[in-house]
Amino acid sequence: MFHRPASRRRLATPAVALGLLCTLSTSAWAGVHDAAPAIAQRGRVTAVASAPGSTTALAGYAIQSTAEASDPAADVSSPGYPASGWYPAGSRSTVLAALLAQGKYADPFYSTNQQKIPKADFAVPWWYRSDFTVTDTSERSYLDFSGVISAADVYVNGKQVAKAADVAGAYTHHELDITSLVRAGTNTVAFRIHPNKPIKNLTMGWIDWLQPPPDENMGIVRDVLVRRGGPVALRDAHVVTKLDVPSLAAADLTVKAKARNETGTAVSATVSGAIGSASFSKTVALAAHETKTVTFTPADSPGLHLTSPKVWWPAGMGGQPLYGLDLTASVAGTPSDTAHEDFGIRDVKAPLNSDGARQYSINGRRLLIKGGGWSPDEFLRWDRRYVEDRLKYALDLGLNAIRLEGHIEPDEFFDLADRYGILTLPGWECCDKWEGNVNGSERGDKWTAADYPVAKASMAAEAARLRDHPSVISFLIGSDFAPDATIEKNYLDALKAADWPTPVVAAASDKSSPQSGSSGMKMTGPYDWIPPNYWYAKREGGATGFNSETSAGPDIPTLDTLRRMMSPADLDTLWKNPGAKQYHRSPSSTFDTLKIYDAALTGRYGAPTGLTDYVRKAQLAQYENVRAQYEAYGRNATDTSKPSTGVIYWMFNSGWTSLHWQLMDRYLDQGGAYYGAKKANEPLHIQYSYDNRSVVVVNNRHTSASGLTARVTLFNTDGAQKYEKTAKGVTVGGDGERSTALTVPSSVSGLSTTYLARLILTDSKGQEVSRNVYWLSTKPDTLDWAKTDWYYTPTTSYADLKGLTSMAQVPVSATASTSSGPDGTSTTTVTVRNTGSGRTPSLLTDVHLVDAKGKPVLPVQWSDNQVSLWPGESTTLTATYRTADLRGSVPGVRVSGWNTPERTVPAT
C-alpha cells in the first residue's frame, strides 16, 4: 500500500526452488469460530509414509525461546530430548500464535491488550522441534519447506543440515536431502528460528494495516514436508496451456517436469503420465546426479491437443473446471517418484489501452476487475474454513478479484480461488526491505549482495507454486515502486524459467520498470474519507483506469462487533473524541485518528448523540460511499475516453479487529460497507450518477437485457413525492455494458434540502429486478482538488443530510421461518413490511440473524439486506448459514434501521 510518512502513505542460496507443496493440513483458532485450536500436542510424533512420491507434513512442534532452552543444538535436535516446559505449536504457527493458543496472553484483539505483550520475548531465536518416525529406510528422504519467517538454522538428528544464511526469506523454497541421517524409528528435526525484521529481511510485514504483532510473525507458516522417493526424483511438474481465442475450440497442452538422478551411477528412467484419458510416456537416460527436463507436447503426444476443452472462467462468466496431471518416474519398472498437479485452461491478456491503463481480458472477453485487498490473520494462523467463508463473501458481493500485497497465502487459498472462480493478483509488498533499493527515503533497508539471490529464489518459488492456478492472473513485481533494472531482470528470469503464463506488472502504482514498461495501474488514493461524488471525477482516485488500492478509509463495524473488540472506555472515546488516537485504526500517524471521517459524519449527518447514533450514522455513510465507489467504476467501464478498467477496494478485510479498510469485520459481521458493495455489484443494476444526475442501467451478466423499465421517484424526507419519471423499453448489452435510461433535472420544485431518490428497474413482465435508494442533498459536497494529498482530497463544504434525523419513526413488521438445507446448513426466510400509516419510508432496514442470546450468527449470506421500504411495501429475504453456528439455539431475527425501532422475532 501507498505509505509515505511525510508526503504519502504508505540464505545461503536456497537449495532447490521447486513446485507446489502438497498434503497440507488445516488449523483453527479460538475467537473466530469460538472453537478450540487444532494444535499438535507436546510429544506428538508424525508417522512418515514410505511410498515413493509420498509427502507427509509434520504434525506440529514443541517450541521454546533460546533464552530458556540453552542446551546445545545437537542435544535439542536429537531424539529423546525431553523438551520439558516447551509450548506446543501447530504445523503452521508463528511463535505468538502458539503462545496465544496456550492462553499465555489475553486476547490481543480486545482493547489494547496487545500492547501488554513484551516484545523482548521475541528478540532472541526460538526453537521449533518435531519428531517423526520412518519404518523403511530404503527410500530416500527429503525435508521440503517454505514459509520460514524469516531465517533458520536447521538440524536433523543432532546434525546441522542448513544454516540461517541458507534458509532466509519468507518465500524461498528449500529441499534438503536428509537420507543419510534418517534412521528407522524416531527422528528429530529442529529449526532455530531467528527474529523477523521486515525492514531488514525479505519477508512479511504489516505496513500500516494494523498494530504489528510483537513477534513480527517469526515462525513457520507453511507445512514442512518429509518427502520419500527412489533413485530418480520428479520435480517441477507443470502444464503450459495454449487456448485458441476467441473460438475456444481447441487447446494445446505442454507437460514439463524435471527428472533428477539421485544416485552415483547412470540410470534409465521412464516418465509416464496422464491427463484425463490422454496418456504419454518417455524414457530418459540420466548420468550420475544428472537432471533433465522431460517435455511432452501435442507433437509427440497427440492426446495433449484438446478439442472442445473445458475452459475455466471467473465466477459469473462460466464454470470453473479443472484438469489433473499425474506423472510417475519408474526405474526398471519400479515406481521411483510421482507428481500430481491440478490446472485450468484459460487465456489471460492485459495490454495497455489507449489511455495507458491496463485492461484485462479472460478467454477473449474484456472484464472490469472489481476486487478487494486481502489480509490474512494478524498472527498468520491458517483456518481453511475462515478463508473459505471470506471468499464466499467476495462472491456474494459480486467481486471477481482479490489482490494480495505480500502475505501470499498457502496453496489451499489458491485451490479455493480456483474452485470459486475468484481472480487473484499476488505480488510483493511495499514499505519494507522488498522496495528498499527504490523507495527513496521510505522505510526499508538497502539491499546487500546476499539479498539478490534470496529475492530471485523467492520469485522462482512463488512462480512455480502459483503458475498452474487458473485464478492467478498476474504477478505484481512491485507495489508502491517498480524494481530497478537488476532486480527486475532477476524476477523476470525466474518467471521465465518457471514458464510463467500471465502478465507481469511492474508495480501497483503508476510506475515503469526497464523491461516490463508501464504498470498501467494507479495508486492515487484515497485512503481516508472523501464524499461519494469524488468517485465520478476522472482524476486522482476517481473512476478511470486501474486503481490498485483505494477507498474512503474508515469502516466502522457494527455495534455488536464494537462491543466485542473495545472496552467501555474505548467506546466512549470512539464517538466523543474525534482527535483521539485509535489503537484499532493504524500505527501510522496519518491514519491513527478518525478526525477526517468524524468531521464529515458530523458535517453531513449531524453530531452524534451517543454511541448507537454514531454507529448508525457510520453505517449509512459507509453504505453510500462504498456503493458510489463501485458504481462509478462500473458505469465508466465502457466509456470511449478514459474508461475504468479495475478497482481494488482497500481493503477487502482486516487481519484483526479494525476501524478501517474492511468490507466486513473480523468476525464476519456485515454493515453498511458490505451491503453498499453488494448493491453496487448486483448482476443487473440500476444506479444514480452523482456527477450528472443520470440514471444508468449496468448489466454485469453475459447476455443482454431488453424490455426493461426504469423509474426514478424523488421524495422529501417526510415521504412527500415531488418528482417521478419513467423510461420504458430500455435495452442494455452484457459483459458490463451500460445504458442511460434518463436524467434527473437539476432543480425540482418543493424538494427539501435533504431528499430521497428511489430507483426501480423492472423486466418485461413487470417484475422488479433492481431497487436502489439514495439520500441526497440540494447542497452538494464540494472538494478542494488543488489541495489533494496522497491519501485524500479535502472537502470544503458538506452535503446537508441532516434532514434524515427528522424522519418519522416507522414500524416494520417481520415474520420468519427456518428450514434445514444441504451439508449442515439452514435457511431462514424473513418477510419485512413497512406497516406505517403515513407516507414515510423505512430507510436502510437491517435484518440480523441472532441466537437466543441476541448474538449475531456468523457467517451468513443474505439474499439482500439493508432495504428501504415505503408504506405498505414488503420484501422477502433469505439468510443461509451453518446450522452448527446456532450452537443449539433457536434462531431469531433482529430488525432495525435508520428510522425503525429495533425488535427481535423468532425464526423457528
* Higher pLDDT among residues 645 and 38, named by residue: 645
Element (H, E) at 95: helix 95-101
Catalytic residue of the set 139, 144, 262, 549? 549
Phi, psi of 455, deg, nearest 5: -65, -45
Return phi, psi of residue 490, to 5°: -60, -45
Is 744:728 a contact under the CB 8 Å cutoff?
A: no
Dihedral sign of CA atoms 870, 394, 654, 588 in order? negative
pLDDT of the residue at 4:
39
Pair 342, 415: CB distance under 8 Å: yes
Nearest to 406 by CA among 150, 663, 122, 62: 150
In this model, does residue 726 exceed pLDDT 80? yes
Quote the DSSP letter at residue 445: P
The pLDDT score that the predictor gives to residue 1 is 54
What's residue 441's pLDDT? 83
Q: What are phi and psi of 407, to 5 degrees?
A: 45, 45
Distance CA 908, CA 894 (A): 13
Average pLDDT over residues 634-659: 97
Cell of 611: 454511541
pLDDT higher than 90, residue 27: no
Q: What is the pLDDT of residue 417?
A: 98
Which strand (E) or helix (H) includes residue 724? strand 721-732
Strand pairing partners for 522?
547
d(CA 172, CA 152): 12
Task: Identify the CA nearest to 400 among candidates 640, 689, 649.
Answer: 649
Helix (H), strand (E) at residue 622: helix 611-635
Span 725-744, mean pLDDT?
A: 97
For residues 204 and 197, is the Cβ–Cβ distance under 8 A?
no
Read off the pLDDT band of 605 (50, 70, 90). Answer: very high
Tens of pLDDT, residue by residue over 480-489, are 999 999 999 9
CB neighbour list of residue 92: distance below 8 Å, 6 or more residues apart? 25, 27, 147, 220, 221, 222, 223, 380, 381, 382, 410
Mean pLDDT of the 287-315 span? 97
Q: How far apart are the first and last CA of the chain?
A: 46
pLDDT > 70 fraction of the chain, expressed in percent and rounded:
95
Helices (H) and strands (E) in the chain, counts: 11, 51
Say if residue 651 is preceded by a cis peptide, omega within 30 of 0.
yes
Q: What's the CA dihedral at 636, 639, 642, 644 to 10 degrees?
A: 30
Segment (H or E) for 751: none
Among 39-43, 417-421, 762-766, where is mean pLDDT lowest?
39-43
Give me the phi and psi of 73, to 5 degrees please: -60, -35
Band the pLDDT of 440: cuts 50, 70, 90. confident
pLDDT for 708 equals 98
Estimate to the nearest angstrom the gap between the alpha carbon of 35 and the chain centroid: 23
Neighbours of 211 (CB within 10 A): 19
* pLDDT number for residue 442: 85
Reported pTM: 0.94
pLDDT(3) > 90: no
Prior bond of 79 cis (ω within 30°)? no
Mean pLDDT of all residues in 710-737: 97
Query: Which of helix, strand or coil describes residue 490?
Result: helix
Question: In 120-202, where do the E strands start and end?
Answer: 126-134, 140-145, 148-149, 151-156, 159-162, 174-177, 185-194
Q: At residue 760, does pLDDT exceed 90?
A: yes
Sequence-ordered list of residues with C-beta below 8 angstroms from that of 577, at least 6 positions apart, any chain: none
Binned at pLDDT 50, 70 and 90, residue 219 comes out as: very high
Q: Closest by alpha carbon to 715, among 616, 892, 820, 843?
A: 843
At CA 113, angle to CA 111 and CA 114, rounded to 5?
A: 115
Q: Are 553 and 660 in contact (CB under 8 A)?
A: yes
Phi-psi region of 520 (alpha: psi -120 to 50; beta: other; left: phi over 0): left
Residue 867 pLDDT exceeds 70:
yes
Residue 366 confidence (pLDDT) above 80: yes
| DSSP conformation class of 691 | T
Q: 778-818 pLDDT, tens per residue?
A: 999 999 999 999 999 999 999 999 999 999 999 999 999 99
Q: Which three cell numbers stand for residue 40?
A: 499438535
Closest CA to 698 of 717, 679, 724: 679
Does residue 246 have a cis bond before it (omega within 30 degrees)? yes
d(CA 376, CA 685): 31
CA distance 162 to 184: 22
Q: Using one digit for the tens of pLDDT, what is the confidence trace for 197-218?
A: 999 999 999 999 999 999 999 9
Mean of pLDDT values over 139-164: 97
Q: What phi and psi values does residue 458 have, to the nearest 5 degrees? A: -60, -45
CA distance 1 to 197: 18
Handedness of CA 240, 259, 487, 437 (dihedral sign): positive
Q: Is 480 a catalytic residue?
A: yes
| Enclosing H/E stretch for 167 | none
CA-CA distance, 864 to 849, in Å (whole number)?
13
CB 331 within 8 A of CB 267: yes
Q: Could you tell me the pLDDT band of residue 44, with boundaries at 50, 70 and 90?
A: confident
Average pLDDT, the chain: 94
Q: Residue 714: what pLDDT?
A: 98
Q: Is 549 a catalytic residue?
A: yes
**Residue 187: C-alpha distances to residues 133, 135, 158, 521, 540 (Å):** 6, 11, 10, 51, 59
Contact 350, 360 (CB under 8 A): yes
- In total, the chain counts a number of residues equal to 908
pLDDT of 389 higher than 60: yes
- The reply to whether omega before 512 is within 30° of 0 (cis) is no
- Cα separation, 603 vs 251, in Å, equals 58
Instruction: For 418-462, give the DSSP string.
Output: HHHT-EEEEE--SSSGGGTTTSTTSSSPPP-TTHHHHHHHHHHHH
